[in-house]
Chain A
């Protein structure tokens, strides 16, 4: 045990991260045993990652919101409104001008969604930062207002079908296939290894303390291992033979005997990974990120250091809004339709994911990868219980208890480590 601790200390890995991975391993292990080996399978891991994507994307933004000591209760409702509006734009408005199936439809739709998200988010941020209305109230108002607005877009009618190219952004319909999944996996592995050693070289140049070389190799090895096994698992999920047959029929060809195809990386998961990387860079390597954390740690100090905390609030909520739009794209594309109840209760899932991922509601503390893992833990619990056949009311109870329990563990951990 002591030996393990000293190895972890040498690797300088975040203990909270280890804890979350352990929690995830326990959840997966238990459900795998209970379902008789159905849980940790390529098929289920594929589904889990696709179901997690929308909430996880938004949770990365919620980290910034909560770190600056705010909260955003409006994300689910805003997702509904933007989802509905994007549905109208691609299914009703644009086809009139461009014709059905025009290749630009999805581009314009996504761009319009992002613009709406950023503008509506910025507006809420302005109310909070400049008019100093508490974020809880502004976004509670937003929760009601955006949900009402979502109904108004079509008087409550579901918009379907969505644009064919747009739907690729959502789920099982849009995957990279085996070859391109490996290309992405190998590029990501190379980038991870390059980052580890580039950081080491900088530290050596400044004559700072560095980890022993074996620790750097071990870390790089773990990164590459995780990336490659994830790709391998998703590639191992095979497209049903009947579906491949239909694809060939659509092209007027006959399927070669014995052909198999793996799904590979879903586009939505690729979007999530890109968002995670970009948000991590913003958090750790930009002034904006530094100011977000400084403001969360001590708003007065931030202001006295010349940081414009009002405008910062607008930026944080604009980012949140933009990520809600991405969440709306993924969620509506996955369902293939836009209904006005899209994103209902997502605000709670998103907040829970950020908090389980170690974001402190008192502000100043939180990580992007933690929020993504938090979202994955929540989704693993929920789909696991659904697979086992746990009643929906009991599912809610379990998720609620787990949320409170996780935060308590986090408080105990923080008190022990004094951070």
Chain B
């Protein structure tokens, strides 16, 4: 795995809001076919770190490399151009629009005359939904009237449809029931097998142990460490999250 350049590398990322150093000199990377879990308490800086990759925030300093090349990501459009897709915790759906309009939001299919082609978009949406969630049938209602799992399917379909290479999932199962959580877990395995790299932000240590290859733990904006899941226990990860204690060196992070 280490012979090829990482799919994406974030080096020495820094961002501060007012006096709050939300992300402090954090470096993480991600390889093809790998799932890296990002762990930490609320406010540890995981979501902020990842929003710099998805273009929602501008870093104060630090470099982002995609396939070994330095890139600038100034907005969500730039991120999408580098095949970086994000499934936000809030899902980022326009509740008043239907599934197809959300799936293609910002990237609408158009007719030869330049008009939005709703029928083609719905046809495409039906195809991808048949693959992701065959129970999904409601293509005409606004997504506000859909269940949590169905809304999640729309958000996932949006990320997957456009040939993502790098997928960011921010607590994708937080609002889901057991059945739907299993569906997301299966999907992660499937996408991994297809060679995507996935950043998975999560609170749930067990889920990270189950789904991820490596875990990066953050505390108070700093990186506690990055470990291979095969080399640590649940308790090791909890120690990193709660105490900031590195399982291999035994060092405890200050602050």
**Which A residues are closer than 8 A to B by beta carbons?**
202-203, 205-206, 208, 281, 284-287, 289-291, 293-298, 300-307, 364-365, 418-419
Contact B116 A293 (CB under 8 A): no
Whose C-beta in chain A lies nearest to the C-beta of B104?
A290
Selected A-B contacts with CB under 8 Å, 26 pairs: A202-B119, A203-B119, A206-B120, A208-B119, A208-B122, A284-B116, A285-B115, A287-B110, A287-B116, A289-B116, A290-B97, A294-B94, A294-B105, A296-B96, A297-B95, A301-B90, A301-B94, A302-B94, A302-B105, A303-B56, A305-B76, A305-B92, A305-B106, A306-B106, A364-B95, A364-B96
> Which residue among A208, A289, A304 has the maximum number of chain B CB atoms within 10 Å of its CB?
A304
Task: Decide: B123 and A300 in contact? CB cutoff 8 A.
Answer: no
Shortest Cβ distance from B115 into A: residue:
A285
* Interface status of B88 (Cβ within 8 A of chain A): yes
| CB <8 Å contact, A294 and B101 | yes
Q: Which residues of A contact B105 (CB under 8 A)?
A: 290, 294, 301-302, 305, 307
10 A-B pairs closest in CB distance = A297-B96, A297-B94, A305-B106, A364-B96, A306-B77, A301-B92, A294-B94, A306-B106, A305-B105, A285-B115
> With A and B bound together, what is the CA distance between A300 and B94 in angstroms?
9
Given the complex of chains A and B, what is the CA–CA distance between A202 and B92 in angstroms?
30
Smallest Cβ distance from A148 to chain B, in angstroms? 38
Contact yes or no, A304 B97, CB < 8 A:
no
- Asked whether, in the complex, the Cβ of B76 is within 8 Å of the Cβ of A306, the reply is yes
Is B133's beta carbon under 8 Å from chain A?
Answer: no
| CB interface residues, B 82-105, toward A, < 8 Å | 86, 88, 90-97, 101, 105
Partner of B123, one of A206, A286, A296, A304: A206
The reply to whether A300 and B96 form a contact with Cβ atoms under 8 Å apart is: no
| Number of A-B contacts defined by CB within 8 Å | 85
The residue on A at minimum CB distance from B81 is A306
Taking A298-B94, A298-B96 as known contacts, 4 extra A-B pairs with beta carbons closer than 8 A to each other, sorted by chain A number, are A206-B120, A286-B116, A294-B94, A305-B106
Q: How far apart sit A208 and B118, CA to CA, in the bound complex (Å)?
A: 12
Inter-chain contacts of B115 with A (CB < 8 A): 281, 285-286
Choose one: B96, B123, B145; the contact of A365 (CB below 8 Å): B96
For A291, list chain B residues within 8 Å (CB).
106
Given known contacts A206-B120, A290-B116, A298 and B93 CB-to-CB distance under 8 angstroms: yes
Which chain A residue shows the least CB distance to B92?
A: A301
Report which B residues bind A (CB closer than 8 A).
54, 56, 75-77, 80, 86, 88, 90-97, 101, 105-108, 110, 114-116, 119-120, 122-123, 142, 144-145
* Chain A interface SS verdict (over half): helix
Residues of A within 8 A of B114 (CB): 286
Q: Which residues of A contact B106 (CB under 8 A)?
A: 291, 302, 305-307
Provide the residues of chain A in CB contact with B97, threshold 8 Å: 290, 293-294, 297
Contacts of B92 in A (CB 8 A): 298, 300-301, 304-305
Contact B120 A300 (CB under 8 A): no
Residues in B with CB closer than 8 Å to A305 are: 76, 92, 105-106
> Looking across the interface, which residue of chain B has its beta carbon closest to that of A419?
B142
How many Å lie between the Cα of A92 and that of B95 in the bound state?
52
Which B residues lie within 8 Å of A296 (CB)? 96
User: Which of A206, A286, A298 lies at the interface centre, i.e. has the most chain B CB atoms within 10 A of its CB?
Assistant: A298
Q: List B contacts of A294 (CB < 8 A).
A: 94, 96-97, 101, 105
Q: Tell me whether A290 and B95 are in contact (CB under 8 A).
A: no
A303 contact from B76, B90, B119, B142, Cβ within 8 A: B76
Smallest beta-carbon distance A15→chain B, Å: 15
User: From residue B36, how far is it (CB to closest CB) to chain A in Å?
Assistant: 21
B130 to chain A, nearest CB (A): 13
Contact, CB under 8 Å: A287 / B108: yes
The complex places the Cα of A205 from the Cα of B92 at a distance, in Å, of 32
CB closest residue in chain A, given B145: A418
Residues of chain B lying within 8 A (CB to CB) of residue A286:
114-116
Residues in B whose Cβ lies below 8 Å from that of A306: 75-77, 80, 106-107
Docked-complex contact B90 and A300, CB < 8 angstroms: yes
Across the two chains, which residue of chain B brings its CB closest to A284?
B116
Residue of B75, B80, B91, B106 most packed against chain A (CB within 10 A) = B106
Nearest CB of chain B from residue A49's CB, rounded to whole Å: 29
CB distance from B73 to the nearest CB of A (A): 12
Beyond A304-B86, A304-B92, whether A290 also contacts B101 by CB under 8 A is yes
